[in-house]
Amino acid sequence: MTSKKKIVVIGAGPMGLACGYALLKAGHEVLICEAGDRVGGMSASFNFEGLEIERYYHFICATDQPLFDALKELGLSDKLRWRETQMGFYYQGKLYDWGRPDKLLLFPHLGMISKLRYALHVMYAKGIKDWTALDREEASVWIRRWIGAKAYDVLWEPLFRLKFFEYAQNLSAAWIGTRIQRVAKSRKSLFTEELGYIEGGSEIVVKAYCSRIEAMGGRIVVNAPVTRVMTAGGKVVGLAAKGIEEACDAVISTAPLKYVPRMVPDLTPAERDRINAIENIGVVCAIFKLRRPLTKYFWMNINDAGMQVPGMIEYTNLNPLANTVVYVPFYMPKTHPKYNAPAETFINESRGYMHRINPEFQDDWVLAAHASRYEFAQTVCTPNFFEQLPGMATSIKGFFMADTSYYYPEDRSIAESVKVGERLAQVADENLR
């Protein structure tokens, strides 16, 4: 039987909440400290001129089993909705239907051999079960080998470049392969894409976790950035945060790894080096509330010389709301000179892009606009990333860590947050016995 331990979880995003809930179920005492002013992390909602909506878009795929299990556990399975969606591709000034074999055949900018190679690559990626070999491969080399240089330049090059910039030629093939597979396995049929959303948004999952945690005696505090994980004799003895000093048996960090060396200065130099070697891409995500639909597509990839974003997401073509909602993500490293530009820079640039995509678009369609900014939106998963990730259990007894890097090779999703959060709790529980 597990002996009861007092455990502090850093971070109240879905990973931290899932971790805290699992620890409570295992019989531990739990405190969750959140640096921000609200729970939810990248799944948190905000009041967008009367509409409660997530700052960053989310969608659900058929492979997201950890999320389905969590919804069942939390009594929310009836909030899961599925909808047939469409994908578009804006290529050099023209918008094309995309995401179906017949639309691929009609696309005029690739030859038949390139189209066949592209389709075969998707089919191959859909069937991969072991990503070990592709972990060692570089993504652009792998894709070019399958589909050819021309198809790569048309379909993939701008997506990599406008999301990863100087890291675009140093990405793991396993990471991009799981993205292809996740969407491919969500198809209802060869000609029908079907994606999911939660009625009420991710916020209801966050609130349900919080209610369960508090009902079981767990505590959640916000506006409590952690300043120090205290150790003695090589083990955790407490934690200091803004307004809090707590003795504890263990600390589990779900905050971005880059914050960990500052919070836990007693890590070994080797652990600090491994953490600091992992890079991240930031995002400034503009969101618009429009009086009219912009397109018929939920997801739209973009390859256009006059547009500096890899895509747009018209969220209400997945989740119907009273007004059209469009997300325009500008990915870039924090070191990029544009990253710290005012929100209006991204909002105004997005307006211009929406007019290019739909010439009927007028500024008076915009009912509200906002831009959210986050430094750690996407881990740069390089080849051999399995070996680069530090262990969840560290050299300090009672200190454990993970962040979105540990989703690898999977991409960011609430399902992966739940999965990694529960795994963290399991590792901590086993090590503390």
Q: Are 378 and 281 in contact (CB under 8 A)?
A: yes
Q: Which two tokens stand for residue 147?
A: 């589909």
Cis peptide before 225 (omega within 30 of 0): no
pLDDT confidence of residue 190: 85
Question: Looking at the whole model, is its pTM more than 0.75?
Answer: yes
As a whole number of angstroms, the distance between CA 121 and CA 118 comes to: 5
Q: What is the pLDDT of residues 150-183, one digit of tens each?
A: 999 999 999 999 999 999 999 999 999 999 999 9
- Per the model's pLDDT, the better-predicted residue between 91 and 2 turns out to be 91
Residue 58 predicted with pLDDT over 60: yes
As a whole number of angstroms, the distance between CA 6 and CA 270 comes to: 28
Assign 243 a pLDDT band (cuts: 50, 70, 90): confident
pLDDT confidence of residue 319: 97
Residue 145 predicted with pLDDT over 90: yes
From the list 38, 41, 35, 52, the residue with the least C-alpha distance to 18 is 41
Assign 2 a pLDDT band (cuts: 50, 70, 90): low
pLDDT confidence of residue 399: 98
CA–chain centroid gap for 427, Å, is 23
Average of per-residue pLDDT across 275-299? 97
Strand partners, 182: none
Q: For the chain, give the mean pLDDT.
A: 96
Assign 415 a pLDDT band (cuts: 50, 70, 90): very high
Residue 1 predicted with pLDDT over 50: no
β 51-54/45-48 pair status: antiparallel
Q: What is the pLDDT of residues 224-240, one digit of tens each?
A: 999 999 999 999 999 99
> Cα–Cα distances in Å, from 17 out to 9, 39, 91, 216, 390?
8, 9, 41, 13, 22
Average of per-residue pLDDT across 200-228? 97
pLDDT confidence of residue 279: 96
CATH class as words, domain 6-58+201-276+388-432: alpha beta
Q: What is the pLDDT of residues 59-98, one digit of tens each?
A: 999 999 999 999 999 999 999 999 999 999 999 999 999 9
Give one DSSP letter per residue of 188-241, joined into a string: EETTEEEEEEETT-THHHHHHHHHHHHHTT-EEESS--EEEEEEETTEEEEEEE
Q: In what order do the strands lie in the sheet with 399-401?
A: 219-221, 29-33, 6-10, 250-253, 399-401
For the chain, give every domain's residue range.
Answer: 6-58+201-276+388-432, 85-197+280-379
Kindly tell me the sign of the dihedral angle through the C-alpha atoms of 380, 383, 386, 390: negative
Q: What is the pLDDT of residues 305-324, one digit of tens each?
A: 999 999 999 999 999 999 99
As a whole number of angstroms, the distance between CA 282 and CA 109 comes to: 32
pLDDT confidence of residue 433: 86
Residue 356 predicted with pLDDT over 50: yes
Fold exhibited by the domain 85-197+280-379: Polyamine Oxidase; Chain A, domain 2 (3.90.660)
